[in-house]
Amino acid sequence: MHPNPQYRPRQEDLPALFVREIAFAGIFAGTPDGPRVAHAPVVLSEDAATLQFHLSRGNGLTKHLDGMTALAVVQGPDAYVSAGWYAAADQVPTWNYIAIEMEGPVRKLDDAELIAQLDTLSAEHEARIGIDPPWTRAKMNPARFSQMTGAITGFELRITAWRSTLKLSQDKAPGERESVAAGIEASGHGALAHLMRQLGEEGKSA
């Protein structure tokens, strides 16, 4: 997490919105085999108190996670910021980015909880892509579905700490911020430029 308090989200619900929108995280933990990270789709609970995910049984984290404290990191759009985009002299290049960290103890899910997680995950993302009718596991042979779920393990991280960084040039004057947003947009990172401008408008009305 960046130490500058200007890069903290003002809206309390913003980190959860990013987690739900991006829905993919790196899961980090120390293990007897050394530090490990796994990458997985995630489901944030409605009250933003827990984060569920599943891993292959062969993943280096799977056999260790139950009962451990882990760190989940969801990363949003990011882009290089050229010092040449600033009107002011004596600037240096930097990087704008969004990163949401969630820390907490992890427990293993039982089979019913794992299936519920998979149903929720597919329902949410089928709705996003707009397939009609959406895919559901009812389209699968139950024996094949059971075989495939037997190859993964579900987990739930109970979130005891959120640490969020939205580094979007908040430390710059509005004109400099727009110059950076324009440069980022021109370099092919329109989503990040949009977020910079949106954050700037919210700052004006705060």
Could you write out the DSSP letters of every residue in 96-150? EEEEEEEEEEEEE--HHHHHHHHHHHHHHHHHHHT-SSPP-GGGS-HHHHHHHHT
Q: Please report where in the chains the tokens 């907490």 appear, as a residue.
A: 104
How much of the chain, in percent, has pLDDT values that exceed 90? 90
The vertex-15 CA angle with 14 and 21, nearest 5°, equals 90
The C-alpha atoms of residue 141 and residue 179 are separated, in whole angstroms, by: 55
Q: Which CATH class is domain 5-169?
A: mainly beta
Per-residue pLDDT tens digits for 66-105: 999 999 999 999 999 999 999 888 899 999 999 999 999 9
All structural domains of the chain with their residue ranges:
5-169
Residue 78, beta-bridge partner list: 97
The C-alpha atoms of residue 138 and residue 113 are separated, in whole angstroms, by: 17
**pLDDT of 202:** 62
- What pTM was computed for the model? 0.92
Whether the pLDDT of residue 204 is over 70: the answer is no
How much of the chain, in percent, has pLDDT values that exceed 70? 97
